[in-house]
A = this chain, B = another copy of it.
């Protein structure tokens, strides 16, 4: 009898494997069989799907098991069947800590019995024996229940065992089912073989607006070397534009050997300041500060002042050395030596970069190198830095990044790492899997509707979205795209709106961007003429052509609308005009629809074909859209609506979509 069976089952625990009848397959998300974590920020939900099924006709039940890593016990979120043996369940990240999750499935014995009973009842069969079986199952659940629930369950069992139609009605009551379901028999349940991890970051990992500037170009007088104090004076400008990360190229002493001159010239004049990425001189290396910028105290003061404006200073971490770097003398074993006794400089044959010596990650003393570089990061964390933009991570060994990021985040979980890697896609994705919080993308080179759509779908609608957080940059000190070289204000405006609304995180290299700096070093190349990488520049922030007002407005819209603060709801919409890129993002009721004119030269007009479902709208109702840039409101109807955009006036509509009053529930 069922009760006896259940208790005897408990005795036989050591041999239970053969009776685990539930299969769990295709758990999602699961990156590379659980080798890598998925990423979330505090407050986000994790939705888990899995195939959960058993042999035969028994019903199954399933739950997501999850816990913060510091908690010993699993929490449980029951999953719902969503068809074809697939189940779905979710939980929210409510602590700033990594989580683990897995999936458990079991035979829902009582549910199966109850389901069968209903069919027997309908067929007017004799239920006496079946009700006895059911009573046993209820009593069995009582043995696992709290005292109060056990008493309730036993009273149910007494009523059910009596037999007859009333007993059947009791047996089928939702109250009883809910009660029994709380105490399933789990000894023969199946748990997914892998515990999967969620890497949890703070909100800025997901939603951030970056501004990059060269501190040495911030002096009030032309040609004078800017200082941390000058940067401090610039903070108000950066904050007022709505940026929350101010990213500085390397601030360390710059080497003299093979120092680059203006425009990447291989010989420098005595007054050339050199490239900030040529790190290290007699004045120190990666933990020192270039004297012309100021002192450590002044730098810490800058960090503190920025924080008061809710701006964080991000430091550039370029793990490479000028030939003058102290490491070259102190640790020659960290570099590759050539048969002639010299240290190997950086090369991309036939090109030579003699001002830079790369570390050799195959060094005998690789462990010493790793430890030292970790200590460099921890040094800056101690000074108040919690965001690093990592230069060229794709030229350092993969295991190194996995280790060093874990080391730093183990000590300070708040630290954010942005991966600067514009290389092969699989390398970029690997770096993200290994722990980089955010990643540069190919956005700078995606111009047309098809290529933007395909690329963004890959980033937001595939597994890539689980571990790769894109950060969209229309320009960087190394990348002045051909499109921007036109110098047209409308191009800069459109590229800005795309970056800031396609990506919850984006950045610009300014003031070059807002002032539409656009002359290349030479035709066909993406380097800037008179690049700040090699010389001090002076920028006129008051130029009336500056894009600062648009930037300020868009950043304010981003802050006001949750929809723009993540990427997972990004959906593209059709339009009959190929020059329109139309897409939406939503967060609950907050729905934003973007229409960007990709043609910088001509006014474009056409009909949108909206996916109303993605906008949370009914199929044929009216709704209103308010352009958050122009404040104009339009009454729209159904999926087809007319739009025209003149690049001379505005690059885009950023439309706040609202169900019309009459349509609202």
Task: List A residues at the B interface (Cβ < 8 Å).
Answer: 1-2, 5, 8-9, 12, 15, 17-21, 23, 25-26, 32-35, 51, 53-57, 84-85, 116-117, 119-120, 122-123, 125, 129, 132-133, 136, 188, 193-194, 337-340, 347-350, 361-362, 364, 366-367, 370, 394-400, 403, 424-427, 430
A366 touches B18 (CB 8 A): yes
| Closest B residue, CB atoms, query A15 | B367
A84 touches B347 (CB 8 A): no
A120 touches B23 (CB 8 A): no
Give the one of A122, A339, A361, A430 with max B CB within 10 A: A339
Q: How far is the CA of A119 from the CA of B347 in the complex (A)?
A: 12
For A33, list chain B residues within 8 Å (CB): 33-34, 194
Sample of 7 more A-B contacts, CB < 8 Å, known A18-B367, A18-B399: A12-B364, A19-B397, A20-B397, A23-B398, A23-B426, A55-B397, A84-B426
For A9, list chain B residues within 8 Å (CB): 362, 364
With A55-B395, A56-B395, A57-B348 known to touch, is A21 a contact of B362 (CB < 8 Å)? yes
For A123, list chain B residues within 8 Å (CB): 349-350
With A339-B129, A367-B15, A397-B55 known to touch, is A424 a contact of B84 (CB < 8 Å)? yes
B339 touches A132 (CB 8 A): yes
- Least distance between A120 CB and chain B CB atoms (Å): 5
- Least distance between A505 CB and chain B CB atoms (Å): 24
Q: How far is the CA of A593 from the CA of B116 in the complex (A)?
A: 50
Give the one of A55, A57, A129 with max B CB within 10 A: A55
Q: How far is the CA of A51 from the CA of B428 in the complex (A)?
A: 13
| Closest B residue, CB atoms, query A3 | B339
For A362, list chain B residues within 8 Å (CB): 5, 9, 19, 21, 188
- Least distance between A143 CB and chain B CB atoms (Å): 17
With A18-B403, A35-B193 known to touch, is A8 a contact of B364 (CB < 8 Å)? yes
| Closest B residue, CB atoms, query A31 | B25
For A364, list chain B residues within 8 Å (CB): 5, 8-9, 12
| Closest B residue, CB atoms, query A429 | B25
B366 touches A53 (CB 8 A): no
With A338-B129, A349-B119 known to touch, is A53 a contact of B424 (CB < 8 Å)? yes
- Least distance between A439 CB and chain B CB atoms (Å): 15
For A35, list chain B residues within 8 Å (CB): 193
| Closest B residue, CB atoms, query A20 | B399
A85 touches B18 (CB 8 A): no
For A57, list chain B residues within 8 Å (CB): 348, 395
**21 pairs, A vs B, C-beta closer than 8 Å:** A2-B339, A5-B364, A12-B364, A18-B370, A20-B397, A21-B361, A21-B397, A23-B426, A25-B32, A33-B33, A55-B394, A55-B397, A56-B396, A84-B425, A84-B426, A85-B426, A117-B349, A123-B349, A123-B350, A129-B339, A188-B362
For A55, list chain B residues within 8 Å (CB): 361, 394-398, 427
For A361, list chain B residues within 8 Å (CB): 18-19, 21, 55
| Closest B residue, CB atoms, query A109 | B362
- Least distance between A318 CB and chain B CB atoms (Å): 15
For A51, list chain B residues within 8 Å (CB): 426
A400 touches B18 (CB 8 A): yes
| Closest B residue, CB atoms, query A393 | B55
- Least distance between A21 CB and chain B CB atoms (Å): 5
For A1, list chain B residues within 8 Å (CB): 337, 339
- Least distance between A141 CB and chain B CB atoms (Å): 17
For A188, list chain B residues within 8 Å (CB): 362
With A8-B364, A15-B367, A55-B427 known to touch, is A129 a contact of B350 (CB < 8 Å)? no
B367 touches A426 (CB 8 A): no
Q: How far is the CA of A349 from the CA of B121 in the complex (A)?
A: 10
With A53-B427, A188-B362 known to touch, is A350 a contact of B119 (CB < 8 Å)? yes
Q: How far is the CA of A573 from the CA of B348 in the complex (A)?
A: 48
With A55-B397, A132-B339 known to touch, is A349 a contact of B19 (CB < 8 Å)? no
A350 touches B125 (CB 8 A): yes
Q: How far is the CA of A32 from the CA of B192 in the complex (A)?
A: 12
- Least distance between A140 CB and chain B CB atoms (Å): 13
Q: How far is the CA of A424 from the CA of B58 in the complex (A)?
A: 13
Contact of A338 among B15, B17, B133 (CB under 8 A): B133
